[in-house]
Amino acid sequence: MRILIINPNSSAPMTRSIEETARRVCSSGTDITAACPPDSPLSIEGHSDGALAAYHMLRLTDQSDPADGYVVACFDDTGVDALRERLAGPVLGIGEAAMHAATMLACRFSVLTTLERSVPIIEDNAARYGLGIRCRGVHASDLPVLALEESGDDSAFSIIREAATRILKKDRSDALVLGCGGMTHFAERLGNELGVPVVDGVSTAVRFVESLIGLNLGTSKAGGYAYPREKTSPISKEDSHA
């Protein structure tokens, strides 16, 4: 099977990090391709970045070879609904995948993301997925997305570890969800140090999509995710008599 992972931002280093994680966790028969739209914002931090990125993600998939399934590697689940309208294979955002996985592992979970402006988006998504009661809190580390690319810099990890320790205690949660695709390379180390499940959305979404493909399940084309209707511009009376 072939899975296309779309990093909605245009950061090539982050896309490589996401691809490395996906290749490490995928099954032996899975072909992983990761791509990012070159004209997207360099990072997705807020509603306007997400709106711009969604447009470029649609163009990217239009220009890419078809895949059996798709992963959107932004925790805001940017453009997921739009892609589900356009694509037949399962499309899963890392936010939805990670939060659902956390409910299978713990009674309550907390989310640690990047900046405060992302908190309302993630809170709204959790409520939309029916997981608001299980999510005890969404918190910002105050680390910009691009700061997470410095995977060799222990200062970013230290900030995340200290914030995670604090919020788990405050929320009385027993699992942590990493609220950014750029945090993927911290998951295993954080889990070892925190002593609770640390859920990385990239790994989780890849394995979930593999399972859906293996079950021969794709995106429903009845109702809300039906293919977009073709539209033509109406011809004005002036044009018809030209």
Kindly list the domain boundaries of the chain, sorted by start residue: 2-93+203-222, 95-201
Q: Is 95-201 the same fold as 2-93+203-222?
A: yes
Does domain 95-201 sit in CATH 3.40.50.12500? yes
Q: Is the pLDDT of residue 87 over 70?
A: yes
Q: Is the pLDDT of residue 241 over 80?
A: no
Q: State pLDDT tens for residues 4-60.
A: 999 999 999 999 999 999 999 999 999 999 999 999 999 999 999 999 999 999 999
Whole-structure pTM value:
0.91
Q: Is the pLDDT of residue 152 over 60?
A: no
Reported as a pLDDT band with limits 50, 70 and 90, residue 119 is very high
Which amino acid type is present at position 38?
P
Query: Side-chain half-sphere of 164: how many Cα atoms within 13 Å?
Result: 30
* CA pair distance 157, 14, nearest whole angstrom: 16
Class of 2-93+203-222 per CATH? alpha beta
Q: Is the pLDDT of residue 240 over 80?
A: no
* CA pair distance 93, 96, nearest whole angstrom: 6
pLDDT of residue 148: 74
